[in-house]
Amino acid sequence: MPGESVHPSYIRVLLTFMRNSLVRDMSFRSNFVIESVASTSWVFMNLGFYLLIFRYTNEIGAGSGWGKYEFFVFLSTTMFINSIIEALFMPNAQEFSELIRTGNLDFALLKPIDTQFLVSCRRCDWSSLANWLVGGSLLVYSLRQLTARAENPLQIHPLAFVLYPFFIVCGVAILYSLMISLSASSVWLGRNQTLYNFWFYITNFSRYPMEIYGGTYGTPLRAVFTFVIPVLIVVNVPARWMAWPFDVARSGPLSLFAVAATLASLMFSRWVFLRALESYRSASS
Amino acid sequence: MLATRCLSRPPRLGLQVGRTVGAGGSVERMPIIEIERLCKSYQVYQKKEGLWASVRGLFRREYRQVEAVRGIDLTVEQGEFVAFLGPNGAGKTTTLKLLSGVIHPTSGTARVMGHVPWKRENAYRRRFALVMGQKNQLWWDLPAQESFRLHQQIYRIPTSSFHQTLDELCQLLDVKNLLNQPVRELSLGERMKMELIAALLHAPEVLFLDEPTIGLDVVAQHNIQHFLRTYQQTKQITILLTSHYMKDVLALCKRLVIIAQGQICYDGSLTGIIDRFSTDKVVTLLFGGDRLPSQWEPLGRVLEVVGPKVKLRVERQRVAQVLASLLADYSIEDVSVEDPPLEEVIADAFNQVSRTSVPGAPLDRIVPGTRV
């Protein structure tokens, strides 16, 4: 077929991947249902935990801007981002390490399609998307509470409906970059289970508002996880645009930084990925 | 003696396969695969036995340099079906992986259809395929049909030609009724057929086959061989095959390349390899009377004695002399002189190579278990 278009339709390939994953998940019905129930239960347990905390306090730190319902907007944003990551990228990153270790990456390298795309989007864990329903319900409920409260009700700016999903995408991109870079390091490390666990440890920091990191220990942590490994901005930036009153002066600088950090993260992960492919040795068959 | 053979470039007979002759009588065809001084070496971590050694390994690691491919030169013409033979760890699979662009070489050059494989250009990747008998590229839990559809998207195969090719391949391999069965529920032979279909859907011009019949029963092996022969003859594609089954080689290839210790030791025809590496002939005698020779040693090595039928392995240059002496002294009803089976000749060739130390490459540099 020389001379023909050498680029596949990426969107069609992606849809076929998602379709195949769904067909596969559906063929193990019980497993699919159990996984959906388990991940949704975990989300509800988390929610219960924070409800407990808010029995004892009205906000996280005086004047931080994170009262009960603002925090629940934050929490629903975490749910959205995590469920996208868990559905689209987590199974692929896990499998990528295995592909490197077992030498099965060979087949991905043979295909006339961008290898990073192929490796990153092959599988989709549909059961993780069940959390979208919980996150969506929580977001709607919290926003209703915020907008309907008697004292200082929240007025949602129309632009917030654009900025919120945009920065969710940025957050997903940052976490994806981190995840794929760590997986790609399997090429040099042989096995990177520890680094993969490390991913869970550091993303734990992204789950809380950045205002809680203060004082002698908190400030350096906040600096590192904002400017070096920018996981703190993943949830914080979109959540601010939705939960707080629209204030460009307050959220703008961090948002601009989030865009720059997203681009830098994606470029860095692309660089790591390509370097990893060059060093790939392929296990014996 | 053999070391000299290994280092010098052997005569090639492959050029005679699949060539076309132009109006002026000259050979017009361009080589489709050109490899020059291709080398691939890598480091392997040496783990010593025991707990203390493991703890020490945390701080100071020892690596061994494995030279998997050491300066291969090879040219393959369009339409050739070439067998790549060699003992485990010889560098066959590494060479195929280099030609597929899966790994980068340490040095040297290779061009396949004008492309440098390890640049991994889409234009190249659309024109070849690699099938590995020990690896599976189909979605394990889904019917093969779903993986084929994915291939259609990735290779951008137009729907009409996709269905036409799929029908042709399914008919040739007789798997039409298995398309909707999950891959995990297929037998090994059926799975290999599906792997072949997946590899051929985009009509590759070059096909690399790495042990495609490994682990298959005789019938399945035969089916795959038959398919490959028919397909190659019809489409005139170029195929490089590695296999440990000589039946594959006998059935499919006219040209053989033997690789050992990362170097090409033989490149030529099937008959040529017997002339080169086999020093013996197998002589079968059917004695007429009851009288048989009392001592066989001066004649040759006895392989089998069944009643009056005796099978001897005799040095090639002594065959005429041995036969003359036997015919003169005994009543013999039937005689046949044959080459030894190809498996034995190849095994002899591998043994000769292994026994011969090649300068600059002590044998312990490539150890058993380091399959490449």
Average pLDDT over residues A124-128: 85
Give residue A251's domain range.
10-279
Q: Residue B20 pLDDT more than 90?
A: no
Average pLDDT, integer, range B142-161 = 92
Is residue A4 domain-resident? Answer: no
At position B105, the amino acid (one-letter code) is P
Residue A196 has a pLDDT of 62
CB B213 within 8 A of CB B243: yes
Q: What is the mean pLDDT of chain A?
A: 87
* Per-residue model confidence (pLDDT) at position B6: 39
pLDDT at B362: 38
A273 in a structural domain: yes
> Same structural domain for residues B119 and B222?
yes
Tell me the pLDDT band of B261, cut-offs 50, 70 and 90.
Answer: confident
Nearest to B122 among A6, A27, A28 (CB): A6
Q: Is A1 within 8 Å of B202 (Cβ atoms)? A: yes
Other beta carbons within 10 angstroms of residue B85's beta carbon come to 25
pLDDT confidence bin for A247, thresholds 50/70/90: confident
Of B45, B125, B130, the CB nearest to A112: B125
Evaluate if residue B369 carries a pLDDT over 50.
no
- pLDDT of B4: 35
Of the pLDDT bands very low, low, confident and very high (cuts 50, 70, 90), residue A194 is: low
User: What pLDDT score does B170 carry?
Assistant: 92
Number of domains observed in the structure of chain B: 2
Residue range of the domain that includes B285: 280-338
Contact A109 B93 (CB under 8 A): no
Same domain flag for B226 and B315: no
The rounded percent of chain B whose pLDDT value lies above 90 is 39
Res B25: pLDDT: 45
Residues 6+ away with beta carbon under 8 Å from B71? B37, B38, B39, B108, B262, B263
CA B364 to chain A, closest CA, distance in angstroms equals 19
Contacts of B103 in chain A (CB under 8 A): 280-282
How confident is the model at residue A213, as a pLDDT? 85
Cβ distance B150 to A7 less than 8 Å, yes or no, reads no
Residue with tokens 């760590």: A182
Residue of A nearest to B205 (CA): A1
- Which region among A154-168, B22-36, B153-167 has the lowest average model confidence (pLDDT)? B22-36
Same domain, B258 and B294: no
Angle (CA) A4 B168 B229, round 5°: 95
CB contact under 8 A, A107 and B135: yes
Position A46 in a domain = yes
Q: Which amino acid is at B53?
A: A
B117 to chain A: closest CA residue:
A110
Those residues of chain A whose CB sits closer than 8 Å to some CB in chain B are: 1-2, 4-9, 12-13, 16-17, 20, 23-24, 27-28, 103-104, 106-107, 109-113, 115, 118, 190, 278, 280-282, 284-285
Whether residues B154 and A112 touch (CB distance < 8 A) is answered with yes
**What average pLDDT score do residues B173-181 get?**
90
Residue B327 lies in a domain: yes
Task: Read off the CATH number of the domain in which B91 is found.
Answer: 3.40.50.300
In sequence order, the 6+-apart residues with CB closer than 8 A to the CB of B12 are B75, B267, B268
Q: Is the pLDDT of residue B212 over 70?
A: yes
pLDDT of residue B24: 44
Higher model confidence: residue A24 or residue A166?
A: A166
Q: What is the pLDDT of residue A3?
A: 46
Q: Based on the fold, state whether residues B21 and B83 are members of the same structural domain.
A: yes
Residue A3 located in a structural domain: no
Q: Flag whether the ipTM exceeds 0.95.
A: no
CA–CA separation, A255 and B22 (whole Å): 69
Measured distance CA(A90)–CA(A83) in Å, rounded = 10
Average pLDDT, chain B: 81
* pLDDT, greater one: B163 or A207: B163
Band (pLDDT 50/70/90 cuts) for residue B16 is: very low
Highest mean pLDDT among A17-31, A58-72, B3-17: A17-31
Q: Is the pLDDT of residue B11 over 60?
A: no
Identify the helix (H) or strand (E) that includes residue A191. Answer: none
Between A231 and A101, residue with greater pLDDT: A231
Residue burial B212-226, b: 16+ Cβ < 10 Å; e: rest: bbbebeeebbebbbe
Q: Closest by alpha carbon to A135, among A85, A196, A65?
A: A85
Name the band, by pLDDT with cuts 50, 70 and 90, for residue A163.
Answer: very high
Asked whether the predicted pLDDT for residue B353 surpasses 80, the reply is: no
Lowest mean pLDDT among A240-244, A277-281, B165-169: A277-281
Task: Return the pLDDT at A216.
Answer: 86
Which of B365 and B189 is assigned the larger pLDDT?
Answer: B189
In a domain, A5, yes or no: no
CATH at B289: 3.30.70
Residue B31 lies in a domain: yes
Does the pLDDT of residue A195 top 80, yes or no?
Answer: no
Helix (H, G, I), strand (E, B) or coil at B287: strand
Residue B94 and residue B123 in one domain: yes
Residue B155 contacts A, CB cutoff 8 Å = yes
Tell me, yes or no, if B261 comes closer than 8 A to chain A by beta carbon.
no
pLDDT above 70 for B9: no
- B179 inside 8 A of chain A by CB: no
Q: Is A284 in Cβ contact with B371 (below 8 Å)?
A: yes
pLDDT band at B363 (very low <50, low <70, confident <90, very high): very low
User: For the segment A91-107, what is each residue's pLDDT rounded down to a tens digit?
Assistant: 898 888 888 888 889 99
pLDDT of residue A262: 96
**Cβ neighbours of residue B63 under 8 Å, at least 6 residues apart?**
B43, B44, B45, B46
pLDDT for the residue A75: 92
Residue A133 has pLDDT above 90, yes or no: no
Does A17 sit within 8 Å of B182, measured CB to CB?
Answer: no
pLDDT at B165: 93
Residue of B nearest to A114 (CA): B122
What are A107-122's pLDDT values in tens digits? 999 999 999 999 999 9
Contacts of A28 (CB under 8 A, 6+ apart): B141
Calpha distance B336→B311 (Å, rounded): 9
Structurally, chain A folds into a number of domains equal to 1
Q: Are residues B297 and B254 in the same domain?
A: no
Tens digit of each residue's pLDDT (9 = 90 or more) over A258-272: 999 999 999 999 999
Question: Greatest CA span in chain A, whole angstroms?
Answer: 69
Q: Is residue B24 part of a domain?
A: yes
Residue of A nearest to B89 (CA): A284
Listing DSSP states for A227-282 in one string gives: IIS--HHHHHHHHHHHHS---HHHHHHHHHHHHHHHHHHHHHHHHHHHHHHHH---
For CA atoms B44, B48, B50, B53, the dihedral sign is negative
Is A17 inside any structural domain? Answer: yes
Residue B109 and residue B79 in one domain: yes
Q: What Rg, from alpha-carbon coordinates, does chain B have?
A: 24
Regarding whether B288 and B269 lie in a shared domain, the answer is no
Question: Per the domain annotation, does B53 fall within a domain?
Answer: no
Say what the pLDDT of residue A6 is: 64
**Where does the pLDDT of residue B355 fall: very low under 50, low under 70, confident under 90, or very high at 90 and above?**
low
Look at residue B262 and tell me if it is in a domain.
yes
DSSP-assigned letters across all residues of B93-140: HHHHHHHHTSS--SEEEEEETTB-GGG--HHHHTSEEEEETT---S-T
**How confident is the model over A44-70, as a mean pLDDT?**
85
pLDDT bracket for residue A4 (50, 70, 90): low
Same domain? For B27 and B91 the reply is yes
The reply to whether A77 falls in a domain is yes
Domain-embedded: residue B334:
yes
Q: Which chain B residues contact residue A276 at CB under 8 A?
A: none
Instruction: Name chain B contacts of A282, Cβ cutoff 8 Å.
Output: 97, 102-103
Confidence of residue B195 (pLDDT cuts 50, 70, 90): very high
- Whether residue A46 is predicted with pLDDT greater than 70 in this model: the reply is yes
Mark whether B232 and B215 lie in a shared domain. yes
Nearest-CA distance from B122 to chain A in Å? 4
| The pLDDT value given to residue A5 | 61
| Percent of the residues in chain A that have a pLDDT greater than 90, as a whole number | 35
User: Which residues in chain B are contacts of A115 at CB distance < 8 A?
Assistant: 120
| 3-class secondary structure per residue, B37-81 | EEEEEEEEEECCCCHHHHHHHHHCCEEEEEEEEEEEEEEEECCCE
